[in-house]
């Protein structure tokens, strides 16, 4: 099932091989008016029948060319849709991972600050130890500031990822409109 919608690469290169065998007929595809009047009868001259057949062949070749263009466009749109859906899944997973990581960092910072405060209270009676604890608190405060700065950067990344996600519905809408136009063209 994985190759169900796969077409070989040469199928998208419409200009690599002629679709119409007769170059004169190819040049006249869009110049010849559609046949009008009653259908030829058995009493019609062979020349008129040949002209009618050639006109029908030109029409069929033009329809075949249009159909191949539409098929190539359809395949390209399907591929673009698959890429957009993959990107959407990737952005969603990335945003969730970044948010979980930032929440974990906030918990770690909070737990570190609680631990530091408990240590400070337990050694309040010792002046030497108190000086060491104050040094530790200053270090943890700078670490907290550094982690807060990192957290702000991560939050900025989340905001950017979310803004990129807002563009995806517009892209999907355009693809749906193109698909409907293709369906109307068929």
Show Cβ contacts of residue 168 under 8 Å, excluding neighbours closer than 6 positions. Answer: 84, 87, 88, 91
Report which of residues 155 and 171 the model is more confident about. Answer: 155
Task: Tell me: pLDDT of 5 over 80.
Answer: no
Residue entry with tokens 């008016």 = 33
Task: Tell me: pLDDT of 30 over 80.
Answer: no
Rounded Cα distance between 68 and 62, Å, is 10
Task: Tell me: pLDDT of 43 over 90.
Answer: no
Render pLDDT for 138-160 as a digit per residue (tens, 0 to 9): 999 999 999 999 999 989 988 88
Name the band, by pLDDT with cuts 50, 70 and 90, for residue 161: confident
**Spacing of C-alpha 52 from chain mean position:** 47
> Dihedral sign, CA of 69, 74, 75, 81?
positive
Q: According to the per-residue pLDDT averaged within each range, which of 15-29, 120-134, 136-150 is highest? A: 136-150
Q: Is the pTM of this model over 0.75?
A: no
Rounded Cα distance between 28 and 58, Å, is 8
Task: Tell me: pLDDT of 20 over 70.
Answer: no
Task: Tell me: pLDDT of 33 over 70.
Answer: no
Rounded Cα distance between 32 and 163, Å, is 52
CA angle in degrees (0–180, nearest 5) for 7-13-19: 100
Render pLDDT for 71-97 as a digit per residue (tens, 0 to 9): 999 999 999 999 999 999 999 999 999
């Amino acid at each position: 099932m994985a190759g169900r919608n796969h077409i070989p690469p040469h199928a998208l290169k419409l200009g690599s091989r002629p679709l119409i065998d007769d170059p004169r007929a190819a040049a006249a595809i869009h110049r010849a008016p559609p046949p009008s009047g009653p259908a030829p009868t058995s009493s019609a001259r062979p020349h008129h029948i040949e002209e009618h057949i050639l006109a029908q062949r030109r029409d069929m070749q033009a329809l075949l060319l249009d159909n191949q263009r539409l098929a190539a466009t359809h395949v390209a749109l399907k591929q673009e849709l698959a890429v957009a859906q993959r990107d959407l899944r990737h952005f969603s997973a990335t945003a969730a991972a970044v948010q979980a990581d930032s929440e974990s960092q906030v918990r770690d910072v909070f737990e570190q600050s609680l631990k530091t405060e408990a240590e400070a209270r337990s050694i309040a009676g010792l002046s030497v130890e108190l000086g060491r604890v104050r040094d530790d608190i200053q270090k943890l405060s700078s670490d907290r500031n550094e982690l807060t700065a990192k957290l702000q950067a991560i939050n900025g990344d989340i905001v950017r990822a979310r803004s990129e996600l807002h563009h995806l519905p517009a892209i999907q809408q355009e693809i749906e409109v193109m698909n409907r136009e293709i369906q109307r063209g068929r």
